[in-house]
Structure 1
């Protein structure tokens, strides 16, 4: 049933509004093939990289620059020495697609936002490197749909509480919409917001967390356009 009362809908960006992690996965796959190792297979190499990325995300945030740093750190971990200038150049060439690739919107996003915006307040809350995220926002041509846009380093419950306070939002009338259980759904619920989970097959492994199937405050959808059936 679609709600007729005015709501505030807060949108994640990467892998909710446009494709993102599939590009990172391609770069990672190419990089691990290039790295190779005499005793570790691809899954084991990926486990090493994931551990390095998890640590670097805490220290350095998210985005392509964090991945470049992590790949260089992975070279050092695997080969017992810092990456050479040639190896760093190879990593940067593999990752160039993350900077140069055009933004590919997820299906039905512009039309759905336009319809939702005629009845509700729309805001964006995304995490990552500010310069990189701003480039994607500008390239998406979606910014005009949103009353406010914030780019943050991390999305935890404190982030959501601060966001609610900054924009004078009532938690009971506010919904976070995204693909990441860890960054979009669970912390928004902890802040008292409703949440809409729209899974993406290429969601980053480090963004996975278990959701409580009994939590009535989380709406589970399959496709972005299904938001129009509820708001």
Structure 2
């Protein structure tokens, strides 16, 4: 049963296009390169995750945060700052993240085209503004959205501010994304409905527990399934 005349607010990274899978490939290559006399890759990854968690709070998200975190990881494990050669190696490992190409998730382009005929579409994404704009431009999807906002963090206050800025009624709005932490839980606390579309490559720091009894959270297996409900 389709809902008519709704406001659909879309996350971008790992909802409209693949993102974290690229970061995971860079991290895997980094851990192979890094090596350590006593720590295995799982232990090294735990160190890096801890560093990324702190850097995300202090410096936001995106490629530059990852580069900083990789260098900080070298410094923590080797008890000295990364050398010039090490810094160059890290930049080479992460070069794929500055590629102008984006890989749309299957079904995104045609689904947005169909939904735009029946609903109002907006985008709310977090990260480095320049990096996010580059990905939005490369996706060729910007024309599908009435408004696009790039924010530093997506917490409860972000959603309340977003709703007020666009004069939206929360009960008629749906936040659509892959992240329980950033997309679903804060949107629900702001009074919005939500659609959870899991992505196998969602960053571990974006995980969270959803209430299985919350009837205002729609869970879908794929992006294309949005057309069955909206």
Matching of residue 177 in structure 1 with residue 176 in structure 2: yes
Q: Which residue of 2 aligns with 1:39?
A: 38
Deviations 1:149-187 (A, max 9, x none): 000000001000000000000000000000000000000
CA distance in 2, matches of 1:160, 1:168: 12
Matching of residue 123 in structure 1 with residue 122 in structure 2: yes
Alpha-carbon deviation of 1:209? Answer: 0.5
CA distance in 1, matches of 2:183, 2:205: 13
Matching of residue 23 in structure 1 with residue 22 in structure 2: yes
Matching of residue 60 in structure 1 with residue 56 in structure 2: no
CA distance in 1, matches of 2:3, 2:167: 21
CA distance in 1, matches of 2:199, 2:8: 19
8 Å contact 2:56–2:65 — kept in the other structure? yes
Unaligned runs of 5+ in 2: none
CA distance in 1, matches of 2:212, 2:33: 41
8 Å contact 2:100–2:135 — kept in the other structure? no
Q: Which residue of 1 aligns with 2:2?
A: 2
Q: Which runs of 4+ in 1 moved over 3 A?
A: none
> What is the total number of aligned residue pairs between the two structures?
230
CA distance in 2, matches of 1:2, 1:166: 27
Matching of residue 87 in structure 1 with residue 112 in structure 2: no
Deviations 1:75-130 (A, max 9, x none): 00100000001000000000000001510100010110011000100000000000
Alpha-carbon deviation of 1:3? Answer: 1.1
Q: Cα RMSD over matched residues?
A: 0.5
CA distance in 2, matches of 1:109, 1:230: 15
Q: Which residue of 2 aligns with 1:134?
A: 133
Deviations 1:29-48 (A, max 9, x none): 00011011111100000000
Give secondary structure in 1 for the equivalent of 2:94.
Answer: helix
8 Å contact 2:176–2:195 — kept in the other structure? yes
CA distance in 1, matches of 2:89, 2:180: 33
Give secondary structure in 2 for the equivalent of 1:196.
Answer: strand
Q: Which residue of 2 aligns with 1:224?
A: 223
TM-score by length of 2: 0.99
TM-score by length of 1: 0.99
CA distance in 2, matches of 1:50, 1:217: 32
CA distance in 2, matches of 1:169, 1:40: 51
Give secondary structure in 2 for the equivalent of 1:149.
Answer: strand
Unaligned runs of 5+ in 1: none
Give secondary structure in 2 for the equivalent of 1:201.
Answer: coil
Q: Which residue of 2 aligns with 1:48?
A: 47
